[in-house]
Amino acid sequence: MFFRRAREDRAFREAQRAGYELFLQLQAAQPWPDFPEQTAPAPAAEEAVAADFLPPELRVPSRQEVAGLMMRWLQPLIIEDEVRTCPGCGAYRDWIVFCMRDDSVWLRCRAGHETKEPGLDAAWYNRNSGPVERFHPTLEEGLRHLGH
Ligand SMILES: [Zn+2]
């Protein structure tokens, strides 16, 4: 269990590094299954359409373009009747909750410990997250915006 968790943490950090520039916040107001997927036209056509509308920095990234979603969760997080505590420091509230592109959910405590939370999934995230607020080009910017 310990080793598995350590490996997951490492994988998460690597994914973060790899996706650092892409780490954006997208809090979908609608559950993703209802979210109109951009059925892929030829890439060139898509770019041409986008160019007619907004500059790239103002365009809303699609779910496939963001590395993950994030929200702040101030109150204690109760999963299967248990208050979730950080394995690193014992914190039990003021989380940043991440929902990654693979639909895994991760918790980050105030001290920056990140733990995969198998008891939560993208459906839970969608039920509990607010509407889209903004997009962050980096993870750090997102954390700062959310007060961490
Ligand atoms: Zn911690």
Query: Could you read off the pLDDT of 24-82 as tens digits, one per residue?
Result: 444 443 344 444 444 444 444 444 444 455 555 555 666 667 789 999 999 999 999 99
Strand order from edge to edge, sheet including 104-108: 68-73, 95-100, 104-108, 114-121
> 113: CA distance to ligand 1 center in Å?
4
> 90: CA distance to ligand 1 center in Å?
6
> 89: CA distance to ligand 1 center in Å?
4
> 60: CA distance to ligand 1 center in Å?
32
Q: Which of 3-7, 60-64, 85-89, 127-131 has the highest mean pLDDT?
A: 85-89
For the chain, what are the domain ranges? 2-33+63-145
Q: Where are the beta strands (DSSP E) in 1-148?
A: 68-73, 78-79, 82-83, 95-100, 104-108, 114-121
Whether pTM > 0.95 for this model: the answer is: no
Cβ(71)–Cβ(105) below 8 Å: no
